[in-house]
Amino acid sequence: MIVDSLLARAAAADATSPLRHCRDRFDLPAGLVYLDGNSLGALPVAARDAMDDIVGRQWGHDLISSWNANGWWDAPLRVGDAIGRLVGAAEGQVVVTDSTSVNLFKAFVAAARMRPDRNVLVSDPASFPTDLYLLDAAARLVGAVVERVGPAELPDFLAERGDEVALVAVSSVDYRTGERWDLPAVTRAAHGRGALVLWDLCHGAGVLDVGLDEHEVDLAVGCTYKYLNGGPGAPAFMYVAERHQEHLDQPLSGWQGHAEPFAMAPSFEPIRGVGRVRVGTPPMVSLLVLEKALAAFDGVEPITARTVSLSLTGLFIDAVSELCPELEIATPLEPERRGSQVSMRHTEAFGVVQALIGRGVVGDFREPDIVRLGFAPLYTTHREVVVAASHLAEVLASGEHRLPVNQQRSTVT
């Protein structure tokens, strides 16, 4: 009875969803409920269909001439502008280049160099490990000190030591719990004490109405293989507000960021604009596939994606509360405080995730006890939300998660 009521609610939501037409833009396996787009986005049809042209014609036939004839050289900025539209950045402020890790390092060092009279770099201790590792590495390079301060404690820390802080680095969404941090408030608080702010948008780009320009963010980075559906290993992006570009001194002076790259000069002179954060030759096939993948967002406004995301996560939270009341929901219940995932705590979380996968509901596990399900608004349906919650209830009721087959761990969880 409860499931029937939830399915009826889901059917009504799917029938009126402003993104219901976007599902057909993806190549999804029949019968699979895919709730892991926060780790690897689904395959867009446009990206799949473009592979023959990218590999066969551009690489195979046009060869080296493609740098000019097919716009390869300008692709990092062209694709960057397409992503900029989704994160609220005007043209000329986003470039697709390198990996998230490399971009974080460049941004951390550049920010420290823009505030040479300050020696404290602040990060959330719950950030994704790469963010923490690289901030430590950057701090060693520039002679700075890293302080681990959560966003909730940041105002008090800034009130006490704000005049020492060069940079505050925060993830837009906590990768474990799915909590969305208040980007405008954190940015204002840091700027109020003269610090720069960097946002990691890996779990926000494509599902949040980020508004980088509107909220005067300084720097941002993000990956493109999650909610942007760029494919495994797709290059990342970096945002540099226009007001900082002229003075940005990033530590990796590569030839593609040179003002005259084909002059082959022995000394480095950075190009004007955001292109100065480019380093080496980009992975062109992945970059061009990403460009085609972003067509899945044609006609989609960030606020619309956010609205549908909240509808999906809200329905799932209600369904879990009804069907699995014993589960602790780790994601904030308040809509404004959550990203596009719902995380639940269970002492046997790994087995729960494996049992769900065995039933055709794909999510993932995060240490130590998190069942994590991501809801991609362009292709996840409300019906799938209810189906997933129903399977979850059946797994817990049956003890299926304790079966030996669901205890076997592979490298990737």
Q: Which of 176, 276, 292, 372 is catalytic?
A: 372
The torsion of the CA quartet 333, 218, 85, 74, rounded to 10 degrees, works out to -140
> What's the rounded Cα separation, in Å, for the pair 327 and 388?
14
Q: Which of 25, 176, 180, 226 is catalytic?
A: 226
The total of other beta-carbon atoms located within 10 Å of residue 189's CB is 20
The question of whether 345 is a catalytic residue gets the answer no
The question of whether 188 is a catalytic residue gets the answer no
95 phi/psi in degrees, rounded to 5: -130, 140
CB 211 within 8 A of CB 88: yes
Residue 228: which residues within 8 A CB-CB, separation 6 or more?
41, 83, 86, 205, 206, 234, 290, 293, 294
Q: Which amino acid is at 26?
A: F
Q: Which amino acid is at 317?
A: I
Q: Which of 225, 237, 297, 375 is catalytic?
A: 225
The question of whether 128 is a catalytic residue gets the answer yes
The question of whether 225 is a catalytic residue gets the answer yes
Q: Which of 98, 131, 200, 369 is catalytic?
A: 200
> What's the rounded Cα separation, in Å, for the pair 284 and 66?
10
Short-list 115, 125, 178, 177, CA closest to 151: 125
Between helices 2-16 and 382-398, what is the axis angle to 10°? 160
Q: Which of 26, 34, 105, 128 is catalytic?
A: 128
The residues assigned a catalytic role are: 128, 200, 225-226, 372
